[in-house]
C-alpha cells in the first residue's frame, strides 16, 4: 500500500498508509487508497486532522488545517485571558477556535465562516460559528469587547494560485485560498474591520505569506495596532502578524494612553 501511495506521489507514504489502515473499516481500505492515489487530501478520506495536539473533524470539501497555523493558534492562546472573548475569522473546520477553547476552557470563543460546508464542519467540531463575510455576522454586543481576534484568511494572490501544489489546486476550495489581486484583499478588509470589535489593549493575529508579513505589519500599524510582531512557524519562517490595539492603558509611541 505504501508503495502504491509513493508511486502516486505521496511524500510520507508509509505514515499515510498507516493512517489509512487506522481509519479504515474492513471493506473500504481499497477505496481509500484509490482516493488518496488521485491526490484527494488524506484528511478528507480519514475524516480527521491533528492540530495543536487535538483531533479535528474534517469534512470533504473543507480546507484542511495546516501545521504552519499552529504557531498562530498557540500564541493566540497565550494572549487570551482565562475568561476572555475570542473571535476566529474564516474558521474553516474551526481548528484555531478549538485550540483556543482547549487552552482556555472558560473563555468565550466564537467564529465566522462564509462557506456553509465549512461552517457545518466547524459546528460538528463544537465551534460556535456564524455564517457570513469576515466579521459581519458577529453580534453587536461584541463590539469593542473582543480580547483577541485571529484569522487564517485566504491570502494567495490570484496569479500565484497556479504555483500551489497540484493536489491543493485540484481539490481544496478556491474560496479558502484566493486572496484577490495582491493576496491581501480580505486581510486588508479584516484589519480595518477588526477595530470595531477588538477592545483597546486587545490583540489581532493574522496568518499571511512570508513575503506579505512586512506589508501586513504596516497595515496593522496604520489601523491603530502597536507592539506589532512577526511570528515564525516551526521552520523559522515568519508566517503571522500580531498587534495590540492602542487605547486604554496602551499608548502609541510618544502618545498618551486614552480611554478609547
Cβ 250 to ligand SAM, closest distance in Å? 26
Cβ 213 to ligand SAM, closest distance in Å? 16
Q: Report the distance separating Cα 125 and Cα 121, nearest Å.
A: 6
CB of 89 or CB of 223, closer to ligand SAM? 89
CB of 172 or CB of 246, closer to ligand SAM? 172
To which H or E segment does residue 206 belong? Answer: strand 198-207
In which residue are the cell numbers 465562516 written? 113
Residue 96 contacts residue 122 (beta carbons within 8 Å): no
CB of 112 or CB of 212, closer to ligand SAM? 112
Residue 203 contacts residue 223 (beta carbons within 8 Å): no
Cβ 82 to ligand SAM, closest distance in Å? 23
Q: What are phi and psi of 256, to 5 degrees?
A: -110, 145
Q: Report the distance separating Cα 254 and Cα 256, nearest Å.
A: 7
Cβ 156 to ligand SAM, closest distance in Å? 9
CB of 33 or CB of 212, closer to ligand SAM? 212
Cβ 236 to ligand SAM, closest distance in Å? 20
Task: Tell me the CA end-to-end span of the chain in Å, nearest whole number.
Answer: 61
Residues that bind ligand SAM (CB under 6 A): 63, 65, 69, 90-93, 95-96, 112-115, 118, 133-134, 152-154, 175-176, 186
- Of 43, 72, 58, 15, give the one whose Cα is nearest residue 230: 72
CB of 194 or CB of 247, closer to ligand SAM? 194
Residue 113 contacts residue 129 (beta carbons within 8 Å): yes
Cβ 136 to ligand SAM, closest distance in Å? 8
CB of 33 or CB of 134, closer to ligand SAM? 134
Cβ 119 to ligand SAM, closest distance in Å? 8
CB of 93 or CB of 247, closer to ligand SAM? 93
Q: Report the distance separating Cα 65 and Cα 81, nearest Å.
A: 24
Please identify the residue of the shown chain whose CB is closest to the bound ligand SAM. Answer: 92
Residue 92 contacts residue 122 (beta carbons within 8 Å): yes
Q: Report the distance separating Cα 147 and Cα 135, nearest Å.
A: 15
Q: Which residues touch 159 (CB under 8 Å, ≥6 apart)?
A: none
CB of 207 or CB of 246, closer to ligand SAM? 207
Q: Report the distance separating Cα 219 and Cα 200, nearest Å.
A: 17
Cβ 95 to ligand SAM, closest distance in Å? 4
DSSP lists the bridge partners of residue 21 as: none
Amino acid at each position: 500500500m505504501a508503495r502504491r501511495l509513493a508511486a502516486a506521489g505521496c511524500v510520507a507514504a508509509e505514515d499515510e498508509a498507516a493512517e489509512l489502515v487506522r481509519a479504515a473499516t474492513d471493506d473500504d481500505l481499497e477505496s481509500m487508497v484509490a482516493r488518496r492515489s488521485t491526490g484527494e487530501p488524506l484528511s478528507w478520506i480519514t475524516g480527521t486532522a491533528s492540530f495543536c495536539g487535538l483531533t479535528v473533524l474534517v469534512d470533504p470539501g473543507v480546507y484542511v488545517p495546516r501545521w504552519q497555523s499552529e504557531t498562530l493558534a498557540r500564541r493566540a492562546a497565550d494572549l487570551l485571558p482565562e475568561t476572555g472573548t475570542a473571535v476566529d475569522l474564516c474558521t474553516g473546520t474551526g481548528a484555531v477556535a478549538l485550540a483556543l477553547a482547549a487552552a482556555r476552557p472558560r473563555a468565550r470563543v466564537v467564529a465566522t465562516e462564509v462557506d456553509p460546508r465549512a461552517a457545518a464542519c466547524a459546528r460538528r467540531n463544537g465551534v460556535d460559528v456564524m455564517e457570513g463575510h469576515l466579521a459581519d455576522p458577529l453580534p453587536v454586543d461584541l463590539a469593542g469587547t473582543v480580547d483577541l481576534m485571529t484569522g487564517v484568511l485566504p491570502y494567495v494572490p490570484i496569479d500565484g494560485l497556479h504555483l500551489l501544489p497540484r493536489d491543493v489546486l485540484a481539490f481544496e476550495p478556491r474560496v479558502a485560498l484566493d486572496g484577490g489581486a495582491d493576496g491581501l484583499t480580505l486581510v486588508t478588509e479584516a484589519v480595518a474591520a477588526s477595530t470595531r470589535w477588538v477592545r483597546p489593549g486587545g490583540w489581532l493575529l493574522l496568518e499571511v505569506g512570508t513575503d506579505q508579513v512586512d506589508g501586513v505589519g504596516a497595515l496593522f500599524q496604520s489601523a491603530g495596532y502597536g507592539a506589532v510582531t512577526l511570528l515564525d512557524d516551526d521552520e523559522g519562517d515568519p508566517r503571522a502578524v500580531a498587534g495590540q490595539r492602542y487605547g486604554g492603558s496602551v499608548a502609541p509611541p510618544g502618545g498618551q494612553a486614552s480611554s478609547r
